[in-house]
Amino acid sequence: MEKGRASVYRLTMTQTLTLRRPDDMHLHLRDGAMLNAVLPESARHFARAIVMPNLVPPVVTARDAAAYRDRILAALPQGMRFEPLMTLYLTEATDPEDVAAAHASGLVKAVKLYPAGATTNSQSGVKDFQNVRHVLDRMAEIGLPLCVHGEVTDPAVDIFDREAVFIDRVLDPIRRATPGLRVVMEHITTEEGAAYAGAGDDTLAATITTHHLVINRNHILAGGIRPHYYCLPVAKREKHRLALRRAATSGAARFFLGTDSAPHPDHLKEHACGCAGCFTATNTLSILAHVFEEEGALDRLEPFTSLNGAAFYGLPPNPGRITLEKGAPAAYPAKIDTGAGPVTLFDPGFPLAWKVL
């Protein structure tokens, strides 16, 4: 717990909760019309975000990242303050010196590893991990984190087992072969993922999404298919959701928020082969306050949202504050209108008494 934390966090008798302004350490902003519509939903509450590079074409080079950052800042509404923390998409053709230069300039904060075919726009990802060994070695030298989508794509492996198998087959061997490599296990969804991250050293961390603290696989499949709860990695059994809740609310420095808020227009979600992703940017803080209160851990919400991720990435905590108030249920829109079509907001399935003032 950082020195002076009591002056930053307070829960008063009037049911208000004041936190340092949070960071989202895993966010999809897309591009074009979608970017213009969803960026304000994150910038309203979050000071910074680790922005995912899986555009089409992907953000592979420093030049790509600089151009994408410029588009994000150009889309930011006047009066809003938000810092996009840029990432590069790891491919088997990635130039380690371009990566190092992008990091040295302050532009790029991480490199993202997508196993080819694992999720949305991952077709340019890595098929043979030996082919990126030289990039990982260079990243370890300069202290640049690797953000990992942790699933194998072997069709023989059940989709509900792909995260646990990835840890054994891919992640642990990579970390053993590349000492000092800083790794973020993105959007963990399993008891095994939480245990592996929790037992690691200070080079290992894990993000946890808002929606994986709320839903299990029954929410997607029981009583009919609910496409707006479908995401990758897919939600797992209830025991895994409970393990994630324990990790998120533990106060442990290695766990922090990465919403993986992933907007798709409804016509691509409600489809015979619908897109994976839950859009949570708008109501994440209300949901998290509800979850942490249920777990008796409101005093640990600020480390999870505002301190742990910044510390892992070597960033100072944000100087600003936000205040949430508990009262009548918050009114959130069912959908966000975008130039690419309406996007459905994640529905946690319960009233949200906490809202950001």
Active site residue 168: no
Evaluate the omega torsion of the peptide bond into residue 303 and state whether it is cis, within 30 degrees of 0: no
Helix (H, G, I), strand (E, B) or coil at 4: coil
- According to DSSP, residue 346 is labeled P
Sort residue 32 into left (φ over 0), alpha (ψ -120 to 50) or beta.
Answer: left
Among the listed residues 158, 156, 166, the one whose alpha carbon sits nearest the alpha carbon of residue 186: 166
146 close to 191: Cβ distance less than 8 angstroms: no
Q: CA of 113: how far to CAs of 90, 146, 170, 217, 224, in Å?
A: 5, 7, 11, 25, 33
What residue has token string 């960026």? 39
Q: How far apart are CA 209 and CA 231, in angstroms?
A: 11
- In the block, which residue shows the tokens 């989202």? 24
Distance from C-alpha of 69 to C-alpha of 109, rounded to nearest angstrom: 12
Give the SS3 label for residue 59: coil
Kindly name the residue from 23, 24, 98, 260 that is annotated as catalytic. 260
CA distance 207 to 254: 8
CA dihedral angle for residue 51, residue 56, residue 62, residue 65, rounded to 10 degrees: -40
What are the C-alpha distances in Å from 229 to residues 16, 54, 167, 210, 212?
Answer: 30, 21, 24, 12, 10
First to last CA, the chain: 26
Structure tokens at 171: 């992640």
User: Which residue in 259, 270, 333 sits closest to 46, CA to CA?
Assistant: 259
| Separation of alpha carbons 326 and 304, rounded Å | 19
Name the residue type at position 58: P
Enumerate the active-site residues.
260
